[in-house]
């Protein structure tokens, strides 16, 4: 430990040398071990902001029971002379434009404890009642509380971000929990893609994870990583994924088992049939195959009607999306060389994109079943397109695959990072998938998420972060919550654009 680090710790631990912390108030009544309010000293209501990090000397300055680090939230200002529910002279004075007395005004913030310590550096949960009258101090720029918060990390690393309002306070993160999966949530315009590009991707790369991005629209990542892009139309798909695509395209083969059998037979030799052909020739070969497929004469008329309907939907354009010849392993070869690959999924229907995902997930799943650790972060943009709250058709299978990847990935160094506008409900992701995301970044809330069950309100309100506040959060600000955060309390972080 260098001398400046020692000196700083001494300043925190020793009451006589707390030159970097400033007293701002005292603890009010009705406190507990997990909640307290600080009554601000005179004029500090003009200085102290929400999300400030404070230090409580629990009991007294000279002989504290322990010291507690906490975050200020839920500010309150009270003046009993201005209670609008009853008449007082001050109310009457205010009605005619006078300025009432401020002598009885009280300003306070709720303190959410992060952890406590006595003489050791590592924070532990606070188990003592936070005593009223205890002095409360503000950490200032020269003294970084993250130096204490970081010590609970199993594998200490840092995000390329900082605590809101403190550019020098870099955000510690526990890289051990990267494969426990991540969610990034926020309404349109909050900076989810910027955050992923500027903060998460460098963090994964720095911690020896390769990064594979599925860019649903082709505009959020493709233009920024042009030398690392592969279009999904170039990639060879598995027969099962192609069959699932045709099934979804024809509404499960119009419930005609003979048509299902015919297309299954055709797809079983798909790559052999399309070799050296264009999409129009493949369409003609499919038509011929369906017409010659043997069907009991009793069911032939229904079969032919189903064939005509299917062929009207299976167009040459749809077939062209399935004719890639680049082996899937080529993606991973490029990953090994560059560390980052962006898959451009633009220009294709949702069904094609989801069919490709099934091919990709099958490869990842089979690799992990062999006991191989992937050290891969799979970033899924527009996650509700894959696993919505109420999946239907091919989305059901995709949702199940994501659940399986999440369960197996924790043991084999596969990170899933899901990006969505909302957490739950119509704009959110499937609840079974959501339960696998053990680290989350919450940006400005979508109004539909404000009251939905299982949304941001349920996740963050226990920490003093209300839905009302999240609706007004500035762009580029995210609450960092979950196992990767060494602080048990979500921290408000931001980054340089």
- Percent of the chain having pLDDT more than 70? 92
Q: Are 185 and 288 members of one domain?
A: no
Crossing angle for the helix pair 257-267 and 279-292, nearest 10 degrees? Answer: 130
pLDDT above 60 (res 30): yes
- 54-95 pLDDT, tens digit per residue, is 999 999 988 899 999 999 999 999 987 777 777 777 676 677
Band the pLDDT of 237: cuts 50, 70, 90.
Answer: confident
Q: Are 368 and 256 members of one domain?
A: no
Q: Are 58 and 16 members of one domain?
A: yes
Q: What is the pLDDT of residue 453?
A: 67
Residue range 232-240: mean pLDDT, rounded: 86
Residues 6+ apart with CB under 8 A from 297: none
Band the pLDDT of 15: cuts 50, 70, 90.
Answer: very low
Q: Both tokens of residue 105?
A: 């005004």
Contact 470, 460 (CB under 8 A): yes
Which is more confident, 309 or 10? 309
Q: Residue 250 sits in which domain range?
A: 239-320
* Nearest residue to 338 (alpha-carbon basis) of 453, 225, 242, 441: 225
Separation of alpha carbons 71 and 477, rounded Å: 16
Residue range 141-147: mean pLDDT, rounded: 87
Which string of DSSP letters, residue by residue, matches 265-305?
HHHTTHHHHHTT--HHHHHHHHHHHHHHS---GGGHHHHHH
Q: Are 121 and 265 members of one domain?
A: no
Q: What is the pLDDT of residue 16?
A: 36
Residue range 249-260: mean pLDDT, rounded: 92
- Percent of the chain having pLDDT more than 90? 68
* Strands 182-185 vs 414-420: parallel, antiparallel or unpaired: parallel
Asked which of 320, 336, 360 is the last residue of a domain, the reply is: 320
Band the pLDDT of 118: cuts 50, 70, 90.
Answer: confident
Q: What is the pLDDT of residue 454?
A: 64
Q: Are 48 and 95 members of one domain?
A: yes
CATH number at residue 374: 3.40.50.300
Band the pLDDT of 8: cuts 50, 70, 90.
Answer: very low
C-alpha torsion angle, residues 347, 349, 350, 351 (rounded to 10)? -140
- 333-363 pLDDT, tens digit per residue, is 999 999 999 999 997 888 889 988 998 999 9
Total count of domains within the chain: 3
Backbone angles phi, psi at 428, to 5 degrees: -105, -165
Bridge partners of 415? 377
CA of residue 200 relative to chain centroid, distance: 10
Q: Are 285 and 353 members of one domain?
A: no
Q: Are 171 and 224 members of one domain?
A: yes
The DSSP letter of residue 239 is: H
Helix (H, G, I), strand (E, B) or coil at 81: helix
C-alpha torsion angle, residues 143, 146, 149, 155 (rounded to 10)? -140
- 402-450 pLDDT, tens digit per residue, is 999 999 999 999 999 999 998 887 888 999 999 999 999 999 988 877 6
Q: What is the pLDDT of residue 2?
A: 53
Separation of alpha carbons 279 and 284, rounded Å: 9
Q: Are 394 and 266 members of one domain?
A: no
Task: Count Cα atoms within 13 angstroms, Cβ side, for 300.
Answer: 8
- 147-190 pLDDT, tens digit per residue, is 889 988 999 999 999 999 999 999 999 999 999 999 999 998 89
Separation of alpha carbons 314 and 286, rounded Å: 10
Q: Are 248 and 102 members of one domain?
A: no
Q: Are 303 and 440 members of one domain?
A: no
List C-alpha distances in Å: 378 to 57, 214, 215. Answer: 44, 8, 11
Q: Are 100 and 184 members of one domain?
A: no
**Least confident interval from 63-72, 112-121, 195-204:** 112-121
Contact 14, 120 (CB under 8 A): no
Residues 6+ apart with CB under 8 A from 275: none
Average pLDDT of the residues of the chain: 89
Contact 477, 494 (CB under 8 A): yes
Backbone angles phi, psi at 19, to 5 degrees: -70, -20
Separation of alpha carbons 342 and 340, rounded Å: 7
Burial of 202 (0-12, 13-18, 19+ CB in 10 A): middle
Q: What is the pLDDT of residue 466?
A: 87
Q: Are 457 and 485 members of one domain?
A: yes
Asked which of 104, 125, 151 is the last residue of a domain, the reply is: 151
pLDDT above 60 (res 245): yes
The angle formed by the CA atoms of residues 209, 212 and 216, to the nearest 5 degrees, is: 150
Q: What is the pLDDT of residue 270?
A: 94
Asked which of 106, 134, 151 is the last residue of a domain, the reply is: 151
Separation of alpha carbons 294 and 371, rounded Å: 44
Q: Both tokens of residue 248?
A: 């979804």
Q: What is the pLDDT of residue 324?
A: 86
Residue range 11-38: mean pLDDT, rounded: 75
């Amino acid at each position: 430990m260098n001398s400046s680090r020692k000196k700083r710790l001494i300043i925190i631990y020793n009451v006589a040398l707390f030159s970097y912390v400033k007293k701002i108030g005292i603890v009010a009544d009705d406190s507990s071990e997990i909640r307290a309010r600080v009554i601000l000293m005179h004029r500090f209501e003009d200085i102290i902001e929400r999300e400030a990090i404070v230090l409580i000397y629990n009991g007294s300055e000279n002989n504290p029971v322990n010291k507690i680090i906490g975050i200020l939230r839920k500010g309150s200002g009270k003046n009993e002379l201005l209670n609008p529910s009853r008449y007082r002279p001050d109310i009457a004075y205010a009605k005619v434009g006078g300025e009432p007395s401020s002598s009885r005004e009280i300003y306070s913030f709720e303190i959410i404890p992060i952890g406590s310590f006595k003489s050791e550096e590592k924070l532990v949960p606070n188990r003592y009642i936070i005593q009223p009258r205890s002095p409360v101090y503000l950490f200032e720029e020269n003294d970084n509380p993250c130096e204490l918060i970081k010590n609970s990390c199993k594998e200490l690393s840092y995000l390329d971000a900082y605590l809101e309002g403190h550019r020098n306070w870099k955000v510690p993160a526990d890289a051990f929990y990267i494969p426990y999966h991540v969610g990034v949530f926020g309404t349109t315009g909050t900076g989810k893609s910027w955050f992923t590009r500027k903060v998460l991707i460098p963090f994964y790369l720095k911690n020896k994870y390769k990064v594979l991005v599925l860019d649903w629209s082709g505009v959020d990542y493709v233009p920024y990583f042009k030398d690392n892009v592969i279009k999904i139309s170039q990639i060879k798909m598995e027969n099962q994924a192609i069959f699932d695509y045709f099934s979804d395209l024809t509404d499960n083969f119009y419930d005609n088992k003979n048509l299902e059998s015919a297309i299954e037979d055709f797809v079983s030799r798909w790559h052999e049939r399309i070799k050296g052909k264009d999409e129009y020739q493949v369409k003609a070969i499919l038509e011929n195959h369906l017409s010659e497929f043997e069907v009991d004469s009793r069911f032939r008329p229904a079969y032919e009607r189903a064939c005509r309907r299917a062929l009207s939907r299976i167009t040459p354009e749809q077939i062209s999306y399935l004719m890639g010849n680049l082996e899937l392993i080529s993606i991973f070869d490029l990953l090994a060389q560059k560390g980052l690959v962006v898959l451009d999924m633009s220009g294709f229907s949702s069904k094609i994109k989801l069919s490709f995902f099934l091919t990709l997930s099958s490869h990842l799943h089979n690799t992990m079943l062999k006991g191989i650790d992937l050290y891969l972060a799979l970033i899924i943009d527009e996650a509700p397109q894959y696993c919505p709250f109420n999946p239907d058709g091919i989305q059901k299978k995709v949702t199940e695959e994501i659940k399986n990847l999440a369960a197996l990935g924790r043991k084999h160094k596969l990170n899933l990072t899901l990006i969505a506008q909302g957490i739950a409900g119509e704009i959110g992701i499937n609840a079974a998938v959501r339960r696998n995301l053990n680290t989350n970044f919450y940006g400005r809330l979508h109004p539909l998420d404000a009251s939905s069950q299982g949304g941001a309100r349920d996740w963050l309100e226990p920490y003093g972060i209300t839905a009302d506040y999240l609706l007004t959060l500035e762009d580029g600000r995210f609450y960092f919550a979950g196992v990767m955060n060494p602080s048990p309390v979500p921290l408000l972080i931001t980054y340089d654009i």
